[in-house]
Homo-oligomer: A and B are copies of this chain.
Amino acid sequence: MSSVLVVGSVAYDSIETPQANVEEALGGSATFFAAAASYFVPVNLVAVVGDDFRHNEIAFLNQRQVDLEGLRTEPGKTFRWKGRYLQNMNDRETIYTHLNVFATFNPLLPDKYRNSSFVFLANISPELQYNVVQQVYRPKFVAMDTMNFWISGSMDALLRTLAVVDGLLINDSEVKQLSGEENLFTGARKIQAMGPKTLIIKKGEHGALMVHGDEHFYCPAFPVTSLLDPTGAGDTFAGGFMGYLARTDLITMENLRRAVVFGSALASFCVEDFSVGRLMNLSREEIHNRVLVLRKMTDFAIDPDWALVT
């Protein structure tokens, strides 16, 4: 069984939703990713926190085989973000972003992480993402996240990083922005030409579309009826996806399909509570049951009569 390396943020999130609020809850891309991936493989985490960080809050990650040697503590305060979700729970506004010690984050991999086969570069600057890739000896599958901020402001660096990764997790509006194409499928082709052969286009409540080579796979969102807080769903998806890939150590379309489904299943738990509340103690059976629901949700049999008439 391989392990997976994640480089990203550990943060305190304050969140307002129409139903409830939470102050300074554990968050950050690396946190959500690690919590999800830990159901599949050992995880190595690289991030930075301030000297105000309450380390006991991530003790559960240690118990879940997440190695925290790469979590550095720097003088100053931990990254803080506050956001508010509107009534529809899709649109949100940022109330503040205090990067704090994250502003000077310069990820250095502990030596023992440099043999990682599976690497996830969460949403940090493309320069830092590139530097991380250079520190890994012979990765089998490197995936990255990005955002509109880097697409509009750091395109050169982003293109350099895209050229050295295998997978890109991106949302549908970012596909249009990065490719300059309104059509998602045409846009995906253009982005593949920039480097990543595997694109996972996240559509939130509408599910996720994977484009791998010239094949497509679509996985719907699990029908969540108790949506509380979407924060972290994308990184949780990435954790389920990369964790499953690393566990099975097999980069085929068939296995990538399953990985997307596990990503979708894990993300569906994430949004049912604030922070990592639902990700701390899932049973494998709970996860498997959601995979089965997703299987059934898209299953249909070809009509043999129609198929015969040509």
Contact = CB atoms under 8 A, between A and B. Distances in A.
A291 B309 CA distance: 14
A261 interface: yes
B302 A292 contact: yes
Q: Give the interface size bracket for A toward B.
A: 35 or more
A230 to B, nearest CB: 12
Contacts of A285: 310
23 contacts: A87-B182, A183-B224, A183-B227, A184-B205, A215-B296, A217-B297, A217-B298, A218-B298, A219-B298, A219-B300, A248-B303, A254-B300, A257-B299, A257-B300, A258-B301, A258-B303, A260-B300, A261-B300, A284-B309, A285-B310, A291-B302, A292-B302, A298-B299
Contact of A220 (B218, B257, B258): B218
Interface of A: 87-89, 176, 182-186, 203, 205-207, 209, 215-220, 223-225, 227, 248, 254, 257-258, 260-261, 283-285, 288, 291-292, 295-303, 306-307, 309-310
Please give the count of copies of this chain that the complex contains.
2
A206 to B, nearest CB: 4
